[in-house]
């Protein structure tokens, strides 16, 4: 370990705070070997503070951070996200912090201890909602699939063969939506965001049956043509065949780490760079080698 550290730029550890020090590989011990080392510690609540010693998992932090209190339907209660939102965003936060520390080292010659917390990250990811609460004292409510603005023209609607997400927020978009739905005369009645908000249930009851009468494909074509943002609610099988992702090589094939005669598809780094686009060079059991 000491030989590796002497040549390393970065160490990343995510033990419960205090554990890595007891093992003899804490920041101070490693810094003595490599003074300009960037040392990143990732934990649930941070390296210090009243909750620092507690373990944490994605779902627990979603609950504790208030994330679940603003996700779900009022009728059925809070829900957690369908993916590891805190784990993944914490990993991205840590990568950003490490990159910043490396840039700082390039400018100053100094290493740095980077302390990344899942809870801190969850709060940052909710910063628009949390800042709104801190400023106004009004907490967000469970709002289902509706926009946080609660505008009834921005929601998920059932079509005749699936679901569509419609985002008509600008007045030109709302007017175009009413016209496409065959009721242009009703727009004059709901031509202000405050009016639509006050009568949101009424607006929803006008729109929902009309969208439900036609297919998802119909709405994708017609609403896109008039400048109203719209998307199908796609499943993984559909998005896995998405031409845009294929063009950007988001999914790449590689040899199976246990069977070189098999190949598997995986998700690669989520950016494109020229030159030196990130690519996965090879896999061993428990390890992924990435070349930039």
Look at residue 231 and tell me whether its pLDDT is greater than 80: yes
**pLDDT tens string 96-122:** 999 999 999 999 999 999 999 999 999
Task: Single out the catalytic residue among 87, 115, 201, 259.
Answer: 87
Higher pLDDT, 283 or 205: 205
Strand 10-13 to 38-43 pairing: parallel
Is residue 201 among the annotated active site residues?
no
Q: Where are the beta strands (DSSP E) in the chain?
A: 10-13, 38-43, 72-73, 77-78, 112-117, 154-158, 163-167, 230-232, 251-255, 263-267, 279-284, 287-291
What is 2-127's CATH number, 3.40.50.300, 3.90.400.10, 3.40.50.10540, 2.160.10.10?
3.40.50.10540
Quick one: what percent of the chain has pLDDT higher than 90?
A: 83
Cβ-contact 267, 251 below 8 angstroms: yes
Measured CA to CA, the distance from residue 172 to residue 176 in angstroms comes to: 6
- pLDDT given at position 270: 77
Q: In CATH, which of 3.30.1360.120, 1.10.357.10, 3.40.50.1100, 3.30.1540.10 is domain 154-233?
A: 3.30.1540.10
Question: Count of residues for the chain?
Answer: 292
Give, in order, the Cα–Cα distances in Å from 75 to each of 71, 165, 196: 12, 20, 22
Say what the pTM is: 0.86
CB-based burial of residue 27 (10 Å sphere; 0-12 exposed, 13-18 middle, 19+ buried)? buried
Q: Which pLDDT score is estimated for 292?
A: 47
End-to-end Cα separation, the chain, in angstroms:
25
Residues 230, 233, 235: CA angle, nearest 5 degrees: 145
More confident residue, 40 or 253: 40
Looking up tokens 């909710």, which residue turns up? 126
Q: Where are the domains of the chain?
A: 2-127, 154-233, 240-291
For the segment 177-218, what is each residue's pLDDT rounded down to a tens digit?
Answer: 999 999 999 999 999 999 999 999 999 999 999 999 999 999
> Which residues, including other chains, have CB under 8 Å from residue 186's CB and lie 6 or more apart?
178, 206
Residues 123-178 have pLDDT tens digits of: 999 999 999 999 999 999 898 998 888 899 999 999 999 999 999 999 999 999 99
Given a cut of 80, is residue 80 above it in pLDDT? yes
Q: Residues 6 or more apart from 146 whose CB is under 8 A from it? A: 152, 154, 155, 156
């Amino acid at each position: 370990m000491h030989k590796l550290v002497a040549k390393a730029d970065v160490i990343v550890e995510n033990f419960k705070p205090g554990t890595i020090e007891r093992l003899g590989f804490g920041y101070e011990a490693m810094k003595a070997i490599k003074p300009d080392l960037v040392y990143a510690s990732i934990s649930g609540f941070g390296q210090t503070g009243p909750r620092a010693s507690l373990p944490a998992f994605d779902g627990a932090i979603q609950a504790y951070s208030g994330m679940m209190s603003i996700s779900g339907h009022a009728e059925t209660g809070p829900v957690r996200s369908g993916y590891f939102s805190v784990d993944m965003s914490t990993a991205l936060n840590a990568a950003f912090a490490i990159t910043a520390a490396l840039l700082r080292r390039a400018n100053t010659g100094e290493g740095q201890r980077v302390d990344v917390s899942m809870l801190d990250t969850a709060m940052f990811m909710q910063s628009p909602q949390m800042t709104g609460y801190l400023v106004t004292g009004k907490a967000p409510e469970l709002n289902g699939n509706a926009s946080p603005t609660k505008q009834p023209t921005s929601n998920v609607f059932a079509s005749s063969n699936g679901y569509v997400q419609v985002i008509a927020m600008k007045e030109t978009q709302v007017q175009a939506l009413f016209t496409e739905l065959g009721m242009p005369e009703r727009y004059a009645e709901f031509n202000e965001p405050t009016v639509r908000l006050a009568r949101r249930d009424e607006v929803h009851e006008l729109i929902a049956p009309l969208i439900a009468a036609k297919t998802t494909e119909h709405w994708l074509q017609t609403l896109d043509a008039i400048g109203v943002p719209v998307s199908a609610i796609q499943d993984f099988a559909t998005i896995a065949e998405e031409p845009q992702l294929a063009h950007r090589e988001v999914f790449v094939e590689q040899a199976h780490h246990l069977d070189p005669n098999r190949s598997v598809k995986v998700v690669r780094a989520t950016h494109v760079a020229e030159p030196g686009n990130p690519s996965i060079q090879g896999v061993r059991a428990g390890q992924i080698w990435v070349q930039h």
